[in-house]
Amino acid sequence: MTDLDGNSLTREVIDRFADTGDPRLKAVIASLVRHLHGFVQDVELTVEEWGAALEFLARAGRACTEGRQEFVLLSDVLGVTMLVDSINHPTAGGTTETAPPGPFHAADAPELPLGADMARGQPGERLHVEGSVSSGDGRPLANAVVDVWQADENGYYDMQRPELTEPTLRARFRADGRGRFAFRSILPSHYPIPAGGPVGELLNATGRHPFRPAHIHFRIAAEGYETLVTQLFPADGPYLADDAAFGVKPSLVVACPQGAPGDAPDGSAGPWRRLAYDFVLKAQASASSVQKGAGRHVCGEGTSAGEVVLGHAHMPTIVGLADKNHADESTQVDQARENDIRG
Ligand SMILES: [Fe+2]
């Protein structure tokens, strides 16, 4: 037994893990103890505050179900999800920046021909999306698979709309021989992350809102290159400056100007907007992802998780990310949307 003051206690705790066999785990635990003790000392945490913190974590645990992961929400609103994503996907040589995939990617989205309408007649502002996929040295990546998914004009993904009978606002497109792709869609809406649990209480207590800005998800794969997972954000929507999940990077914000009337690529009449973006993939050989052993927390496809969304028969049940998830929380979403209107 040792007579311990604050500093020697920290050392003693770290030393207690000295026999940890896995060197990465040993390093992570030592750093965790150092930073956690430093945090407690920094804010001179009271007994009551520590008790409240433990109770918060316990309630967060109780809020988790097979379909909901409150700790991932916590990770998102604290910016840890994006920090981990950024550390593991550093940009280099002008390659496109990444963003987490969220919970609503489906591996079996239908492949549609270039120029097809993945909105399948859903109402909304018509959007023509076009772009290219290339390597860092400007070489077009022919036949790259461009997997796209997004929310509708009310902020819901198809998996959250059981009345839909086929994949909607999601599809895969294959770039042509020049690495170019195009498809038709509608402008997505911003939406709230689930705010009815302890994380929502944290947001309320700190004067924060639960909204994410409108975005379109992309997952672009080409042989010999790191698969790019990212999001594009229309430049004129709300919450770009204060995304609840910190997902917005300036390079991913894109203007969507109005197209000339009658000049829509599909030849149809009526208003339409254009979104153009050129994606640059990182060659696998030059990948510099951090691989320190502990690795990323992976849930589903690769990042955070939020809750399971019970979808259609043709869609998998997906454990998702805090990216959004208002599937089974219509009440709190309604409340959040009231907040949106109020704000
Ligand atoms: Fe999303």
Confidence of residue 333 (pLDDT cuts 50, 70, 90): very low
Distance between Cα 252 and ligand 1 center (Å): 14
Laid out side by side, the sheet with 170-174 consists of 170-174, 145-150, 216-221, 228-234, 253-254
What pLDDT shows up at residue 102?
83
> Got the DSSP string for 108-139?
TPPB--TT-BTTTT--S-EEEEEEEEEETTS-
Distance between Cα 259 and ligand 1 center (Å): 25
Distance between Cα 247 and ligand 1 center (Å): 10
What pLDDT shows up at residue 314?
35
Domain ranges of the chain: 70-342
Distance between Cα 102 and ligand 1 center (Å): 6
Asked if pLDDT for residue 176 goes beyond 80, the answer is yes
What pLDDT shows up at residue 304?
38
What pLDDT shows up at residue 91?
84
More confident residue, 213 or 332: 213
Distance between Cα 223 and ligand 1 center (Å): 26
Distance between Cα 93 and ligand 1 center (Å): 27
> Got the DSSP string for 80-104?
HHHHHHHHHS---TTPPPP----S-
- 10-21 pLDDT, tens digit per residue, is 999 999 999 999
- 91-108 pLDDT, tens digit per residue, is 888 999 999 998 889 989
What pLDDT shows up at residue 51?
98
Distance between Cα 43 and ligand 1 center (Å): 35
What pLDDT shows up at residue 321?
39
What pLDDT shows up at residue 1?
61
What pLDDT shows up at residue 3?
66
Residues 6+ apart with CB under 8 A from 342: none
Distance between Cα 216 and ligand 1 center (Å): 7
Nearest-angstrom CA–CA distance, 75 and 84? 10
Distance between Cα 304 and ligand 1 center (Å): 12
Distance between Cα 20 and ligand 1 center (Å): 39
More confident residue, 134 or 293: 134
Distance between Cα 158 and ligand 1 center (Å): 12
Nearest-angstrom CA–CA distance, 99 and 267? 33
Percent of the chain at pLDDT exceeding 70: 81
Distance between Cα 327 and ligand 1 center (Å): 13
What pLDDT shows up at residue 269?
79
How much is the pTM?
0.80
Distance between Cα 17 and ligand 1 center (Å): 40
Distance between Cα 121 and ligand 1 center (Å): 20
33-42, 134-143, 308-317, 321-330: which range is least confident on average? 308-317
Highest-pLDDT range among 100-114, 208-222, 307-321: 208-222
Question: What counts of helices (H) and strands (E) characterise the chain?
Answer: 7, 12
> Minimal CA–CA distance to 318: which of 146, 140, 167, 187?
167
In DSSP terms, 225 is beta-bridged to: 283
Q: Which CATH superfamily is domain 70-342 in?
A: Aromatic compound dioxygenase (2.60.130.10)
Looking up tokens 């640059």, which residue turns up? 280
Contact call for residues 44 and 38 (beta carbons, < 8 A) = no
Distance between Cα 62 and ligand 1 center (Å): 25
Asked if pLDDT for residue 324 goes beyond 70, the answer is no
